[in-house]
Structure 1
Amino acid sequence: MTGTAWLRRRIEVARSSGDRGSETIAAAIVTPLLLVLLCLAIAGGRIVTSGAKIDAVAEDAARAASISRTYDSAQAEASGAAARSLADQGIHCASISTSVDTSGLAVPVGQVGTVTVTISCTVALSDLMLPGVPGTKTLTSRFTSVVDAYRSREG
């Protein structure tokens, strides 16, 4: 067999070896898996971002409560600030709970007190991830703000 005939025979064997189309099959298997992985990464990022937004809401509510002079106004200010901050952040809660610990308002003038606000917001997963995803997730955050030691207080 001459060198050219041998080379032609090798090319024919390689073409008919049955490996044709294996790249297409591999791409058909791998592409959906990569798309699912990408969607999961985006969903995880959106959940983390929403958690950070709830942290900002708790911080705003705690600061508003710490500026108040009475227990009742601290509760009202914290709830109002939380509602405004949620609207600013673009978060739509199915249910929201605002808990305010105003024991720091009872300390005597000249001593430092704190006000702690806990925000719990239940959000539909279809708002966090992709439309049509069933279920809800409760995002909770707590923030403590210092009460000015030398401002007047009312019980």
Structure 2
Amino acid sequence: MTVTSGWAARWRTAGEGDRGSETIAAAIVTPLLLMLLCLAIAGGRIVTSGAKIDAAAEDAARAASISRTHSGAQSEAAAAAARSLDDQGIRCAEASTQVDASGLAVPVGQVGTVTVTITCTVALSDLLLPGVPGHKTLTSRFTSVVDAYRSREG
């Protein structure tokens, strides 16, 4: 029969009082890791949506700059923006397209520009992350040059 005394006995019994501490640590850390993951997904969604809205604004401005009339530029820009957003899989809760087609009124031979501004509200509420708003409004603006020698109706 061996009797252990001193530091060996203390060392052997020290580990016995920590039972369950890993479970408590996991219960504390797991929700924090899930929140960090959801936050990364929300940030990624905002960044990729912003890039896709930039591309839609570019497409809409180009379509508007090719148009010959102010009303045609408005409708072409709105249609191009909707097509581009749909093709890229962006679902806006609210979307608006503003077109400044004043460059179409410039006389032939002078350079004019058409500017399109797209505003899109992207939903984040499906992430169920506390502290993250339910939606984020993103705005993108792009200016396209109107061909100086193309005929226009003003």
TM-score, normalization by structure 1: 0.82
Give the match's secondary structure for 2:127: coil
Give the match's secondary structure for 2:92: coil
Identical-residue share of aligned pairs (%):
80
1:53-112 CA distance string (max 9 Å, x none): 111111110000001111011011001101111110111222221110001111122221
1:97-138 CA distance string (max 9 Å, x none): 111000111112222111000111223324xx5379973322
Structure 1 partner of 2:60: 61
Structure 2 partner of 1:130: 127
Displacement after TM superposition at 1:32 (Å) = 2.2
Deviates more, 1:9-18 or 1:32-41: 9-18
Return the alpha-carbon distance in structure 2 between the equivalents of residues 39 and 135 of structure 1. Answer: 13
Return the alpha-carbon distance in structure 2 between the equivalents of residues 135 and 35 of structure 1. Answer: 18
1:31-51 CA distance string (max 9 Å, x none): 321221121111111111111
Return the alpha-carbon distance in structure 1 between the equivalents of residues 128 and 78 of structure 2. Answer: 29
Indicate the RMSD between aligned Cα atoms, in angstroms.
Answer: 2.4
Q: 1:14 aligns with which of 11, 14, 20?
A: 11
Unmatched tracts of structure 2, length 5 or more:
none
Deviates more, 1:13-22 or 1:107-116: 13-22
Aligned residues between the structures: 149
Give the match's secondary structure for 2:148: coil
| Paired amino acid for 2:81 | A
* Contact 2:42/2:124 (8 A) holds in 1: no
Q: Say if 2:30 is the partner of 1:31.
A: yes
Deviates more, 1:22-31 or 1:39-48: 22-31
Unmatched tracts of structure 1, length 5 or more:
none
Deviates more, 1:134-143 or 1:31-40: 134-143
Return the alpha-carbon distance in structure 2 between the equivalents of residues 131 and 31 of structure 1. Answer: 16
Q: Say if 2:100 is the partner of 1:101.
A: yes
TM-score, normalization by structure 2: 0.83
1:2-56 CA distance string (max 9 Å, x none): xx977x6433211322345544433332232122112111111111111111111
